Structure 1
Amino acid sequence: MKILTHGFGQASGLVAIYIEHMPPMLEYKNLELVQPLSIGETEMISLASGNGWRKIFNVYAKILGQLKHRDHNFTNYGSWQAYREQCLLQSHSQEALLFSPPKLDNPKYRFHIIAGRTYAKKLLRDHIFTNSLVWLDTEFAVDKTHNLVVCPFLDYRQLSNIKINKLCDILHSLD
């Protein structure tokens, strides 16, 4: 069975973050492609799906803000909040939030981030896609061959500002 890449944002770009579950909304139940969000859609998803989704979008924008990658358009925005509202996962962004396993043999993103150790271990068990993953500690792992990083889930308690800094340092080391 072929698994289609599906999620929010761009079909190729700088960063793809992979999470296990999509928002529990009818609008996305049959999502089979990478679809850019429209202005206000992150807020609509957060209102309809709960505080957890607001945290996911906030932490994603904070990662991009802290990363300050030279090839990312984040610098066109004054803050991570402005980026979240005006660009995150939209048609003019450079990132994706994907709900399908990474396809590392056909990379469309420079950096791949699997959010959540449990999800990463499930992917490794079910979809053997890398054999060069090295655990740096109990929360972070890296595969330098594929520019893949495993980090804590996109939640303030799990991926604090200190851990966002660590994630960004790892990503810069892969560049």
Structure 2
Amino acid sequence: MNHYAFGHPQARINVYIEKAPPSETLWGESPSEGSFKALIDGDIKSLGELGGNGWRKVFNVYAKLLFAFPHQSIFRPNNALNWQNYRDQCLLQDQSDTALCFGMWDVEQRGKGGGIHIIAGRTHALNLGLSEKSVWLNNEFAKHPSLPIFICPYFDYRQLSNAKIDVLVNLINGSDTAE
């Protein structure tokens, strides 16, 4: 499977999902292997329309996660009034400091370069070889023992609810337990 990403290569917040949306339908081809493609205004809406409700949920949960950080956090966007505006006008765009990575990335190598790295879904973490290397805090959340890599439920409202987003934020902010 081709691996590529939307967003910025040195993003502060990097999310990893196994399968990509139908980007080739939108642009005529998928981004090249290992590349990062900054989205532009309207791309998230178009990808949601082409890929269906599941992709709208991924983008919504990503934006909601960023807005769940405290106002003083470096991870919380300060260039939008709410998560909906941020999703539509900034998320995964050139200066957003966010990335959404698809396929088989070397997350540990990228984690050594800085930023926060979130693997969405236990199965994807297992396929990336990180599930067994991580410390499981409960049945749904894990953290790599030495790198800023986190494993959480898939970015879907039922799997990563608002309450679970708060757990993830607390883990990223340095809390050592998941409730």
Same-fold call, TM > 0.5? yes
The letter of the residue matching 2:162 is N
For residues 149-168 of structure 1, what are the structure 2 equivalents within 5 Å? 149-168=150-169
How do 1:13-162 residues align onto structure 2 when only pairs under 5 Å count? 13-26=11-24, 27=27, 28-32=29-33, 33-68=35-70, 70-72=73-75, 74-99=77-102, 100-106=104-110, 107-124=112-129, 132-162=133-163
Residues 3-47 of structure 1 show CA distances to partners (whole Å, capped at 9, x for unaligned) of 986210000121100000011342353532011000110000000
**1:13 partner SS:** coil
Matched, 1:170 2:166: no
CA contact (8 A) 1:15 1:109 kept: no
TM-score when scaled to structure 1? 0.87
Q: Secondary structure at the match of 2:157?
A: coil
Unaligned ranges ≥5, structure 1 = none
SS at match of 1:76: coil
1:146–1:91 distance in 2 versus 1, CA, 3 Å: same
CA distance in 2, matches of 1:121, 1:10: 25
Percent identity (aligned)? 38
Relative to 1, partners in 2 of residues 1:109 and 1:17: Cα closer, same or farther, differing over 3 Å?
A: farther
Residue 135 of structure 2 contacts residue 144 of structure 2 at CA under 8 Å; is this kept in 1? yes
Separation (CA, whole Å) in 1 of partners of 2:84 and 2:121: 23
Give the TM-score normalised by the residue count of structure 2: 0.85
Structure 2: any 5+ residue segments left out of the alignment? none
The Cα offsets for residues 97-135 of structure 1, whole Å up to 9 and x where unpaired, read as 0013243234344110000011111211xxxx6874100
